[in-house]
Amino acid sequence: MSVPMLKIGAVLSTMAMVTNWMSQTLPSLVGLNGTTISRGGTSERIVSALYPSPEEGWQIYSSAQDADGKCICTVVAPAQNMCNRDPRSRQLRQLMEKVQNISQSMEVLDLRTYRDLQYVRNTESLMKVVDGKLKVASENPRSLNPKGFQELKDKVTQLLPLLPVLEQYKADAKMILRLREEVRNLSLVLMAIQEEMGAYDYEELRQRVLLLETRLHSCMQKLGCGKLTGVSNPITVRASGSRFGSWMTDTMIPSSDNRVWSMDGYFKGRRVLEYRTMNDFMKGQNFVQHLLPHPWAGTGHVVYNGSLYYNKYQSNIIIKYHFRSRSVLVQRSLSGAGYNNTFPYSWGGSSDIDLMADENGLWAVYTTIPNAGNIVISRLEPQSLEVQQTWDTGFPKRSAGESFMICGTLYVTNSHLAGAKIYFAYYTNTSSYEYTDIPFHNQYSHISMMDYNPRERVLYTWNNGHQVLYNVTLFQVIKTSGD
């Protein structure tokens, strides 16, 4: 079989295709304002850095200069699909995807912080006005009667705790600007790697990405609860398993623990795969298997503080399985809850009981015959699984595609298929509800699991055999006593 020969122009064409793919993958990071990265050295050194050995499929055959002084190199090219197996290309693609995730998360954080900061600034102006009036009253006591003076003083006292909040938001806003600049710089470095493919220290780059992630998480944790106002475009992490299933990280443990759990299928399953990191999950490597003593039903499982909470097959029993000891710590019947496709979501799949966690704790979403098939929310005590409080939302569960809890609010989608949107919200803190219109892109047209992770502030979904993440936008309002 003859080995194809080509000049460096063909190599640059290949690189142009890679550049085009990356610009489509990361429009916000690649090709900023048409900027290009110049580089020194000869073309021979560049090609050597790109393809240093015959084992990787490329080899320099000869080199020369044309009349204009440009380097011309002849190389031995591998089969066309060999580039896809280049480990540098694969590693670079993973880094680019990671930076994309960071960029999208920062956009969400930027929007939320901007809105909140505007509100706090308004509060700051109000506080200055009240403080000015208080100074006038102090200098001229006759201008204010004792009762009015005390009311004004009390008002200022109530406003004073907002000062440290204001300073924190100002600090967060500055941090976001620094993070954005660092990501911009990192994207320029990635563009240079894109041209030179292999001339950069990947380990150093990976550490920079991890540092950015840590700082981003730290910034996000400073922000409290809020109302859901938007959902980002989907981020496909992996395509694996059957059409139905669930995957998750722990909703409560420290951010240093990055384990991922995957449970394929919606009934009779007992096999839980535990991956060491998200990167291992993406690659399908470095995992251990847990064999549950009782099979599960549905996909409404949740990992909370080192334990898996799930619905036992053909029952309304909730089981708490501890991963470290590989044992069942407690199991309890959810009184009156339907099971075995009595009151599932619209997609079926024995999804009668949906367990979830948010900033306020552990929850069960289900329904009962006395509630006429409407969604019931119960807050559970994590240790004993006893029901602490229950709410009847009035929303028919069979009309819901999926649901998830954020900050004590249940959000319900109107379908599991394409065109779905977040249609209904029930607020447990006020026992009230409203109809919403929050669109999201159901990329693979069949969602069988959708859960919020308060530690990472993202939605985990299982979408037709794809594991997909969504960032969320939460709007926070700080209320004064006068509101």
Rounded to whole angstroms, the Cα distance separating 136 from 148 reads: 13
Q: What is the pLDDT of residue 133?
A: 72
Q: What is the pLDDT of residue 413?
A: 97
What does the radius of gyration of the chain's CA atoms come to, in whole angstroms?
28
Q: How many CA atoms lie within 13 A of 48 on its CB side?
A: 7
Q: Are strands 307-311 and 267-275 parallel, antiparallel or unpaired?
A: unpaired
Rounded to whole angstroms, the Cα distance separating 341 from 408 reads: 26
Q: What is the pLDDT of residue 126?
A: 67
Distances from the Cα of 62 to the Cα of 39, 47, 51, 75, 197, angstroms? 22, 11, 14, 7, 21
Give which of 432, 327, 305, 326 is closest to 381, Cα–Cα: 305
Rounded to whole angstroms, the Cα distance separating 171 from 168 reads: 5
Check if the beta carbon of residue 424 is closer than 8 Å to that of residue 345. no
Q: Which two tokens stand for residue 261?
A: 């759990």
Q: What is the pLDDT of residue 447?
A: 96
Q: What is the pLDDT of residue 8?
A: 32
Q: What is the DSSP string of 186-213?
A: HHHHHHHHHHHSS-S-HHHHHHHHHHHH
Rounded to whole angstroms, the Cα distance separating 271 from 454 reads: 25
Q: What angle do CA 372, 377, 381 make, to 5 degrees?
A: 135
Q: What is the pLDDT of residue 316?
A: 97
26 φ, ψ (degrees, to nearest 5): -130, 70
Q: What is the pLDDT of residue 105?
A: 66
Q: What is the pLDDT of residue 150?
A: 73
The DSSP 8-state label assigned to residue 334 in this structure reads -
Q: Which two tokens stand for residue 31?
A: 């090709």
Rounded to whole angstroms, the Cα distance separating 166 from 156 reads: 15
Rounded to whole angstroms, the Cα distance separating 349 from 327 reads: 26
- Residue ranges, the chain, pLDDT below 50: 1-65, 72-85, 199-200, 478-483
126 φ, ψ (degrees, to nearest 5): -60, -40
User: Please, what is the angle between helix 162-196 and helix 43-50, to 10°?
Assistant: 110
60 φ, ψ (degrees, to nearest 5): -75, 130
CATH class of the domain whose range is 228-475: mainly beta
Q: What is the pLDDT of residue 68?
A: 58
Residue 405 identity (one-letter amino acid): M
Element (H, E) at 353: none
Q: What angle do CA 188, 193, 196 make, to 5 degrees?
A: 130
Positive or negative, the Cα torsion across 415, 417, 421, 425? positive
Rounded to whole angstroms, the Cα distance separating 238 from 97 reads: 12
Check if the beta carbon of residue 333 is closer than 8 Å to that of residue 385. no
Q: What is the pLDDT of residue 221?
A: 56
Give which of 32, 2, 3, 37 is closest to 15, Cα–Cα: 37
Q: Which two tokens stand for residue 186?
A: 């990192």
Check if the beta carbon of residue 332 is closer than 8 Å to that of residue 378. no
Rounded to whole angstroms, the Cα distance separating 365 from 351 reads: 10
